[in-house]
Amino acid sequence: MEPLYTQQKTLRVADIAKQLETFYKEDKTKQDLSTLCATREKDPQTSAQLIAEEELIVAGLPLFNILFQKQNIKQHKKEGSLCKAGDLLYELTAPASILLSYERILLNLIQRMSGIASLTNQYVKTLNSPTIKILDTRKTTPGIRIFEKYAVYIGGGYNHRFDLNEGVMIKDNHLAIIKNLDSNLAYLQQKYPNKNIQIEVDSFNQLNLILNSVTIKIDAILLDNMNAKQTEKCATLIRKHLPKCFIESSGGISLQNILYYKPLDIDGVSIGALTHQAQSKNIKLEFQ
């Protein structure tokens, strides 16, 4: 089944430039006292190599292409490729002042993104399913969501909604204050006909009640914190009522238990750990 939302397949130049400018201001790159000391008398053209220090799926090389587009650059590894410790990812030659002032920001980002891509790829390969998608969640880091969701895609995963406006996601806290779910959803569907509607449920009884009381089309249902047996029971009921509904499992699913979900009739498994538990990978920028 097709993904519900827009996929972050690329990083647009305008988006990268805008975010990087914010990071530069935060780090005061134009007021770098250490670099001023080192380059006050001379700012030589300096060559540097970006090198992987451990096995990883590399993500984030477009950042270097944008920052150093006016410099002498050479990309050695394809974005999303598997790299081993010692692999040369990128070579560039630029004024020493630029390399010194901007290296930490770029390394932080590419290390973080490669960590997310690598963990996502581990989930994708472990599940090894042609029909069930590995999805991210909105458990992203404020300010770098676009980079993190892109990294998930590079790792072979799929993106859930990018922001609160991209789709309707009725969760338990929404249900706690909604008096008439069918009426409220009908209003949303009429006002925003092109938005997908998804509802989160945490029990078979709650699912059964919703399926028998809501009259409008539900595009997706999220089965929250259910084991494989509970998921199978709920998925069977959903297919009976809504054959084309996107069925998503979420909560408590890890590398240790994800294979229990592989035989089930579901379309996606969303895993917050892809972005909030991924460990940054070791990558260095070494001057020659």
Residues with a known catalytic role: 104, 139, 171, 200, 224
Alpha-carbon distance 232 to 240, whole Å?
12
Using alpha carbons only, what angle is made at residue 43 by residues 37 and 46, rounded to the nearest 5 degrees?
115
Tokens of 99: 């390399």
Q: Among residues 239, 221, 223, which one has the least CA distance to residue 231? A: 223
Tokens of 232: 């199978």
Residue with token string 């134009």:
30
**Angle formed by the axes of helices 13-27 and 145-154, to 10°?**
130
Cβ partners under 8 Å of residue 97, min gap 6: 32, 35, 39, 43
| Residues 156 and 134: beta-carbon distance below 8 Å | yes
The neighbour count for residue 225, using CB atoms within 10 Å, is: 13
